[in-house]
Structure 1
Amino acid sequence: MLQEHAKIVDFISTAEGVTGRKKLQKMIYILKKIGVPFQEKYEFHIYGPYSEELTARIEELCDMGFILEQKEDKSSYVQYRYTVTDEGLEFRNALGKPVLENSEHAIQLNGKSARFLELTATLLFFDDLEQVEQIAKLHSVKGKLNFTEEEIGEAFAFIEELKQ
């Protein structure tokens, strides 16, 4: 059980911190979909794929003092930033080898906006469909976000890049 916690600490450490709960959810989901062995179960939710298990693990890691959750007031909303503590780094070392074979994936994902990650994760959620059907489903469930053809193309290209 704690091995799954250590994987999350390892990922946040490799990403050099993550800003945003939604962003963290999407980053882990995308990595899981490209074969990184995260075990959290995901369901489709308001903002795309969401894992209650991941939320619970993050809360537990914060309670154990391995991850620091800092609230940043952005006037109309609160944003959360996650960083790994020194104790968290020691705990992470119990994992042995890093969870990511390519640490660049963490940096690439962290460099993307939450909107782009929501788009990418949603497309991956429907990856059992043909691409035309994936796009139709995206517009059906995320119509209010008005994703452009260019954004969708960038998301598909990004998915292929990550899979390499």
Structure 2
Amino acid sequence: MLKDHAKLMQAFAVSGEIIGRKKLQKMIYIAKKITFPFQERFQFHFYGPYSEELTLRIEELCNMGFVEEVKEKKGGYFQYRYNLTESGKEFLSLNQVEMPSLDTCLTDMNVQNARFLELVSTVLYFDNLSKDEVAEKIFTLKSKQKYTDEEIDQAYEYIEDLKEKAKPHH
């Protein structure tokens, strides 16, 4: 029943603290697109791929006491920090989730900034299009972010790098 919740808890377990709702959304989306079996459905929103289901699941995990959400005021806005609680760790130890290499990928994503992860997730969202068409989409949909061609190249390289990391190593 809580299989999908357990997968998300595993994500927190291997990432350590995740700061920011947007970043959390992007990390799970990117992991899902690369290979990991996250079930949440995503739509394209103002800040790139977003999942209502993921938001609800995180809320449930907080209500169950498995994940702790700390809201802090930062300048003019609120920022959320997420951590797995002790009971979350306990639950996970009894409900093993098999996602090899997840730790390597999420730890890597967690040190990137949200702006870059937003770009990477947008590139992945349009992965059925050619690179030129993707760039076109990004310049149109994300004009406010002022992404450069160079950053788009970096995003593509980063995706390849993550796919490499996600491969099972025997």
What interval of TM-score do these two structures reach, taking the shorter chain for normalisation? over 0.9
State the 1:100 CA deviation: 4.1
Provide the rounded CA distance (Å) in 2 between the counterparts of 1:39 and 1:122.
Answer: 18
Q: What code does the residue aligned with 2:84 have? A: V
Q: Tell me the alpha carbon deviations over residues 14-71 of structure 1, each in whole angstroms, 9 at most, x when there is no partner.
A: 0011000000000000000001000000000010000000000000000000000001
2:22 matched residue in structure 1: 22
CA distance in 2, matches of 1:5, 1:94: 13
Q: Which runs of 4+ in 1 moved over 2 A?
A: 97-102
Structure 2 residue aligned with 1:48: 48
CA distance in 2, matches of 1:150, 1:98: 36
Q: CA deviation at 1:101?
A: 2.6
Contact 2:66 2:88 in 1 (8 A): yes
CA distance in 2 between counterparts of 1:150 and 1:138 reads 13
Per the TM alignment, residue 141 of structure 1 is displaced from its structure 2 partner at its CA by 0.9
**Aligned ranges for residues 1-164 of structure 1 at < 5 Å?**
1-164=1-164
Q: How far is the alpha carbon of 1:93 from its aligned partner? A: 2.1
| Equivalent pair of 1:11/1:99 in contact (CA under 8 Å) | no
Q: In the alignment, what sits opposite 2:168? A: none
1:102 CA drift (Å): 4.2
C-alpha deviation, 1:149, in angstroms? 1.4
Native 8 Å contact 1:36 1:100 kept in 2: no
Gaps of 5+ in 1: none
Q: Distance between the aligned counterparts of 1:34 and 1:57, measured in 2?
A: 21
Aligned residues: 164
1:71–1:84 Cα change, 3 Å: same
> 2:92, 2:85 → 1: CA distance?
10
Q: For residues 112 and 101 of structure 1, what CA distance do their matches in structure 2 show?
A: 18
**TM-score when normalising by structure 1:** 0.96
Q: Which whole-Å CA distance do the structure 2 matches of 1:142 and 1:100 have between them?
A: 33
Other structure's SS at 2:35 match: coil
Counterpart Cα distance in 2 of 1:100 and 1:131? 30
Normalized against structure 2, the TM-score is what?
Answer: 0.93
Question: In structure 1, what is the Cα distance between the partners aligned to 2:14 and 2:81?
Answer: 15
